[in-house]
Structure 1
Amino acid sequence: MSRLIVLDTETTGLSAVDGDRIVELGCVELVNRKLTGNNLHLYFNPERDSHEEALRVHGLTTEFLRDKPKFAEKAQDILAYLQDAELIIHNAPFDVGFLNKEFDRLGLKPLKSYVSAVTDTLAMAKELFPGKRNSLDALCDRLEVDNSGRTLHGALLDAELLADVYINMTRGQDALLIMEDEAPSASQVNTELGSQQRVDLSRIALQVLRANEQELASHEAVLAELDKSSDGKTIWRTAEQAAA
C-alpha cells in the first residue's frame, strides 16, 4: 500500500529560527493515489502575534487562535498520523523547517525520522516547467485545477489543491501503475492471440493525411515555445545539431 500525505502549514512569519510559529496544519491522505477522506486539520495558538504580511496571507488573527491548542498538545497525534508516510509538500524546506523547530522545542527527533520520504513539488515543477512560474496558483492554472475558492491561503485547502496538482504532474506514473496492475501475463496474451481469428491486412492501403500549411506553422510555433523554455536543449534540436 502506497500512503501519501499532502501537507501544508500556515505560520506567523517566515523564520522559524527567529521564533515564528505554526498556526495551521492541513494534511490530505492519498492511498494508492486516491483520496481517502482521512485528513488532518488543526489550528494552533502560537503564543505570539502574526507578522502583518503573514496575516494578510492567511487571515488567522491572534483573537481567533487564542483558544486553540498549543502545538505541544497535538504533537504526538500529528506524528502518529504522519508515521511512515511519504510527504508531498510544495517548497518542502519551509514547512519541514518549521515542523522540525516545533519538534525540537519538545525534545523530539526531526520530521524525517518519522516518515518514509519527503517530496518537494516545487522542485518537481521546476524540472517539468523550466523558466515558468511554479507557485501553487500558477500550477493550478497550468494544470487546470480549480482554485477559484482560494481567496486567502488556508493549510487544508492548499493541501487539497496540491494533491490535485501532484496527481496531474505525475499522471505518467499513474498510467504505469494501471498498466502494471492490469497487464495480462504472457501466457494469457498467447492464449488470447491463439483464440482470435487472423485478419490479412496486406491488401489494405492506409490513407496518409498530410499537415497543411496552417497546421505546420502551428506545430513550429509550439516547438519554438518549447525551445525557449528549455534554452534550446530539446531532443529534436540536439539531434539536428548532431546530424549537421
Structure 2
Amino acid sequence: MAIEYAVDTETTGLEVSDGDRIIEISFTEITRDPNPRTFHSYFNPGDQQVNPEAFEVHGLSNEFLADKPSFADTIPAILEFLDETGDEEVSLVIHNAPFDMGFIELECEEAGTPFPKKYKIIDTLKLAIKAFPGSRHSLDALCTRFNIDRTKRTKHGAQVDTELLAAVYLAWFGQKGLELQVSESGEDADEKVTLGAMNTIQVPLDQAAAIANPPAESWAKFFAKPAA
C-alpha cells in the first residue's frame, strides 16, 4: 500500500548556489483520516542570514532560529519518519519539486547522508501546468480552483502549506489509484506518475470562479522559478 506525503520547505533565500539553507520543513500525510501523520521542524541556518525578502514571506528570523537544531542533526529523524511505515511505497508530493528537492538533497549531501532515491517525487506544479494551461499554477491558485479555505494562513509556512497542498491533492485526485501521463518539458517521452485512486468523494471544480477571482500575487515571485 502506497503512502503519500505533501512536502514543503522554507529557506533563507532562493539560491542553493549562494549558500541559502533550509530553515523549516514539513511532511503531512495525504489522507482523509482526520489525524494524518506529520513531521515538522525548524532549523538553525548557521552563519547564513535570512534574506529580507524571504523574511517578508515566511516571517522566520535568525533570532527565532538561533536555538533550533541543524538540518544535519535532524536527517535521521526525517528518514525514520519516512520509513517507519515499513515496506509501503512512499511518494513525496511537492509544489515546484526541483526547488525543494534541490535544497533537501544539498543539505543531505553536505551532512554526508545522501537523500534516498527510492521515494517517488510528484510535482503538482508540473501537473497543474499540464492540466490547466493558461491559468495561474501557484498553490494559492490551486486552492482557489478547488475551493480550499486558506484564511488561517497569515504568512507562508511549511506546515500550513503542506496542509493546504494535501487538501488540494485530495480534492484534485482523490486517494489511491489514478495514473496520469505527465509530459516532461523538453523531452520526447511522457513520464507516467502514479497518483493514487480516485475516491468517491469529490470536491466541485469551480473553474469560472477561479478565473473570475484569481489569487493575489503570491510568494512564488520570490521562491518559484518560471517554468521552462
Q: Is this a same-fold pair by TM over 0.5? A: yes
Give the AA of the match of 2:163: E
Deviation at 1:17, TM superposition (A): 2.0
Structure 1 Cα separation of the partners of residues 2 and 101 of structure 2: 21
Counterpart of 1:144 in structure 2 is 147
Between Structure 1 and Structure 2, the one with more strand by share is 2
Give matches, 1:52-67, under 5 Å: 52-67=52-67
CA contact (8 A) 2:4 2:90 kept: yes
Deviation at 1:82, TM superposition (A): 2.2
After superposition, the C-alpha distances for 1:177-220 in whole angstroms (9 at most, x for unaligned) are 558xxxxxxxxxxxxxxxxxxxxxxxxxxxxxxxxxxxxxxxxx
Q: TM-score, normalised by structure 1?
A: 0.68
Counterpart of 2:96 in structure 1 is 91
Q: Which runs of at least 4 in structure 1 moved beyond 3 Å after TM superposition?
A: 33-36, 171-179
Deviation at 1:37, TM superposition (A): 2.4
CA contact (8 A) 2:173 2:198 kept: no
Deviation at 1:73, TM superposition (A): 1.1
CA contact (8 A) 1:30 1:36 kept: no
Question: Compared with structure 1, are the counterparts of its residues 89 and 175 closer, same or farther at alpha carbon in structure 2 (3 Å cutoff)?
Answer: closer
Structure 1 residues not aligned, in runs of 5+: 180-221, 226-244
Structure 1 Cα separation of the partners of residues 137 and 198 of structure 2: 26
Give the AA of the match of 1:55: F
Structure 1 Cα separation of the partners of residues 80 and 168 of structure 2: 26
Q: Percent identity?
A: 44
SS at match of 1:146: coil
Counterpart of 2:117 in structure 1 is 113
Structure 2 residues not aligned, in runs of 5+: 84-88, 179-194, 201-207, 212-228
Q: TM-score, normalised by structure 2?
A: 0.72
CA contact (8 A) 2:30 2:170 kept: no
CA contact (8 A) 1:6 1:159 kept: yes
Structure 1 Cα separation of the partners of residues 127 and 97 of structure 2: 11
Counterpart of 1:38 in structure 2 is 37
Give matches, 1:127-138, under 5 Å: 127-138=130-141
CA contact (8 A) 2:49 2:62 kept: yes
Structure 1 Cα separation of the partners of residues 197 and 156 of structure 2: 34
CA contact (8 A) 2:173 2:197 kept: no
Deviation at 1:113, TM superposition (A): 1.9
Between Structure 1 and Structure 2, the one with more helix by share is 1
Structure 2 Cα separation of the partners of residues 134 and 156 of structure 1: 20
SS at match of 1:119: strand
SS at match of 1:87: strand
After superposition, the C-alpha distances for 1:20-57 in whole angstroms (9 at most, x for unaligned) are 000000110135x6464220010000112110111110
Deviation at 1:171, TM superposition (A): 3.6
Please, which moves more after superposition, 153-162 or 164-173? 164-173
Q: Aligned residue pairs: how many? A: 178
Counterpart of 1:71 in structure 2 is 71
Give the AA of the match of 2:164: L
Counterpart of 1:162 in structure 2 is 165
Give the AA of the match of 2:112: G
Deviation at 1:131, TM superposition (A): 0.8
Looking at CA atoms only, which structure, 1 or 2, has the larger radius of gyration? 1
